[in-house]
Amino acid sequence: DVQRAQSIEELRAMARKRVPNFCFEYVEGGAEEEISLRHNREVFTRIGFLPRTLVDVSVRRQGRRLFGQDIASPFLIGPTGFSGLLAREGDVAMASAAASAGVPFVLTNVSTTSLEEVVRRSGAQVWQQVYLYRDRAFVASVAQRAQAAGIGVLVLTTDSAVYGKREWDARNFSSPRRLDWRNKLDVLRHPRWLIDILYPHGFPRFANLGDLLPPDQTSVRGAAAAILGQSLSAALDWADVQWLRGIWPGKLVLKGVMQVEDAQRAVALGVDGIVLSNHGGRQLDGALSTMDVLPEVVAAVKGQLTVMLDGGFRRGADIVKAIALGADAVLLGRATTYGLAAGGQAGATRALEILRSEVDRVLALLACPDIDQLDASYLRRLQA
């Protein structure tokens, strides 16, 4: 029962039991040696808290304002593809969890429910991510649909010129669209998942890809690399950002920025926000963690656009450290995805509750009752 989980780590353990191996590895894994994946967690142990004391913290605030909207906590749910493999109508379940927690939800481009339906059924503040970029017409059509559905924020993922080398993904399939026999057996050992996900129509289908994939290939069945790799555009560049800025009247966010110079270029092009990201260690292995570069990016562009980040956030304390270093908000990747895999909407909701209460407790123990008052004076960087 997800209500008993006390930490994201416990939700992760539940998820591991509940879904077949090929699904769990899809969520869990990184690229190549998984150096960035591990570093994304280790980086938090090198930043210590320096609490104040003797401050009345009986009333505490963790809400933020993002793009003119109030959000209940300093985090939101970031985009994760293939959620329909983890829980029935996984995108709607995640969006509904976000709505009940009062935080935005970023819908992946590779969702198994259409963006219109996610908006209508969840009541969440939905942002739309664009991931695949084979041609501008496709992105324009997503932008148009998002605008018509009342979505105010478009997130362009920029760290995926080609698909990362995720070796477990290839290993779990004997051919790009066929699980190997070990994984087939393992699926049979998860009858609840089989019924929840596959009954009665079989594998779910991508709902927002238009004509990017041939009609016979829209099923999520298959290795992610084989499905997505073929549609990514290695030609994406700043001219495309400029073009998108011209056709999208809402807020525009770039996800996958790491360099100060790129952040400044985003400002110059009228981009509204950036998400520092190494894609959860799934793209360029060995990439620095976003916590390594956050201070220099904040120093360069704070106040000129909204600075968000993701990668490795599993505790309220991690989130508080990022806010203290100047981030406006944190995007959650695996933290909520583990919850979804552990127990559908209730599991994702539980993940958000855990993080909210951890943030609240950390603020109290730091003697900083208002999150807007956090700054680097509450932290000290430790020697490696």
Quick one: tokens of 321? 């450290």
Q: Which residues, other chains included, contact 290 with Cβ-Cβ below 8 Å and sequence gap of 6+?
A: 40, 258, 276, 277, 278, 309, 310, 311
Q: Is residue 39 within the footprint of ligand FMN (CB under 6 A)?
A: no
Instruction: For CA atoms 87, 90, 94, 96, give the dihedral sign.
Output: negative
Instruction: For CA atoms 353, 359, 364, 368, give the dihedral sign.
Output: negative
Q: Is residue 21 within the footprint of ligand FMN (CB under 6 A)?
A: no
Enclosing H/E stretch for 110: none
Binding mask 107-126 for ligand FMN (x = CB under 6 A): -x-x----------------
Binding mask 242-271 for ligand FMN (x = CB under 6 A): -------------x----------------
Q: Is residue 222 within the footprint of ligand FMN (CB under 6 A)?
A: no
Q: Which residues, other chains included, contact 381 with Cβ-Cβ below 8 Å and sequence gap of 6+?
A: 46, 47, 48
Distance CA 295, CA 360 (A): 23
Least separation, in Å, of the C-beta of 256 and ligand FMN? 7
Q: Is residue 81 within the footprint of ligand FMN (CB under 6 A)?
A: yes
Eight-class DSSP state of 61: B
Identify whether 200 is preceded by a cis peptide bond (ω within 30 of 0): yes
Q: Is residue 20 within the footprint of ligand FMN (CB under 6 A)?
A: no
Least separation, in Å, of the C-beta of 150 and ligand FMN? 21
Instruction: Report the residue from 73, 128, 158, 337 that binds ligand FMN according to the rule CB under 6 A.
Output: 337
Distance CA 281, CA 148 (A): 34
Distance CA 4, CA 353 (A): 12
Instruction: Report the residue from 105, 127, 131, 338 that binds ligand FMN according to the rule CB under 6 A.
Output: 131
Least separation, in Å, of the C-beta of 272 and ligand FMN? 17
Q: Is residue 158 within the footprint of ligand FMN (CB under 6 A)?
A: no
Residue 268 burial (CB count, 10 A): 11
Q: Is residue 283 within the footprint of ligand FMN (CB under 6 A)?
A: no
Q: Which stretch binds ligand FMN (CB under 6 A): 48-56, 74-82, 95-103, 295-303?
A: 74-82
Backbone angles phi, psi at 233, to 5 degrees: -105, 120
Least separation, in Å, of the C-beta of 206 and ligand FMN? 11
Cβ proximity to ligand FMN: between 96 and 277 the closer is 277
Enclosing H/E stretch for 320: helix 316-324
Cβ proximity to ligand FMN: between 113 and 337 the closer is 337
Q: Is residue 157 within the footprint of ligand FMN (CB under 6 A)?
A: yes
Distance CA 85, CA 265 (A): 37
Q: Is residue 277 within the footprint of ligand FMN (CB under 6 A)?
A: yes
Least separation, in Å, of the C-beta of 332 and ligand FMN? 6
**b/e string for 6-25 if b means 16 or more Cβ within 10 A?**
eebebbbebbbebbbbbbbb
Q: Is residue 40 within the footprint of ligand FMN (CB under 6 A)?
A: yes
Distance CA 45, CA 138 (A): 42
The alpha-carbon radius of gyration of the chain (Å, integer) is: 20
Least separation, in Å, of the C-beta of 51 and ligand FMN? 26
Catalytic residues: 279
Query: How many binding residues for ligand FMN (CB under 6 A)?
Result: 25
Least separation, in Å, of the C-beta of 208 and ligand FMN? 11
Instruction: Report the residue from 133, 163, 193, 313 that binds ligand FMN according to the rule CB under 6 A.
Output: 313
Binding mask 293-312 for ligand FMN (x = CB under 6 A): -----------------xxx
Q: Are 165 and 32 in contact (CB under 8 A)?
A: yes
Distance CA 354, CA 106 (A): 20
Q: Which positions touch ligand FMN (CB under 6 A)? A: 26-27, 40, 78-81, 108, 110, 129, 131, 157, 255, 277, 279-280, 310-313, 332-335, 337
